Amino acid sequence: MADEGNVISNLDLGPESNGEDTAPAAGIISQYVKDLSVENPAAPDSFQWQDAPELDIQFNIGARAINDEVHEVELKVVVTAKTQAGTAYVVDLAYAGLLGMRNLEDSQKHAFLYAEAPRILFPFARRIIADAVRDAGFAPLMLDPIDFNGLYLQQLQAQQEAPAGNA
């Protein structure tokens, strides 16, 4: 029993904290629609077209620093639906989020901005696009989930494999 007391009294708990928060932290502060455009250029004729539209979906991710601890990540999605008869609809969405990051290494910040943040924002952008297409008079467009982490790793690998002159 006496030995157990010595073990407990010999624990080195380290220096007392001074109250400063030095732990790494990252998270979403807010999310918002930055820009939304819905075009239905051939309505009402497009509602009579029988052939299935061919979809062109373009994604782009951008980030910018607001200050040292806050960044904005913008997920840009453009969906164009065309048939042989013409363009059925175009949805152009810029969905953004403010992210707080503190005490992260640069590589962790970069990964959070270009992989994790888009993964968090995408389901909300997906719903907005589905609603916009439905509100334009078409069946809602449910975009498939995207592996932003996998795409991020592919981009990093492609950059590392590129010749130094093309960087």
Domain boundaries, the chain: 24-150
- pLDDT, residue 54, reads 95
Q: Check whether 18 has a pLDDT greater than 80.
A: no
Average confidence (pLDDT) over 95-117: 90
Q: Check whether 59 has a pLDDT greater than 80.
A: yes
For residue 39, list its beta bridge partners. Answer: 90
Average confidence (pLDDT) over 76-83: 96
Question: CA 35 to CA 29: how far, in whole Å?
Answer: 19
- pLDDT, residue 108, reads 87
Fold of 24-150: Bacterial Protein-export protein SecB (3.10.420)
Please provide residue 70's backbone torsions phi and psi, each rounded to the nearest 5 degrees.
Answer: -125, 130
Please report, for residues 31, 127, 129, 130, the alpha-carbon distance to residue 51 in angstroms, rounded to integers and kept in the order given. 37, 25, 21, 20
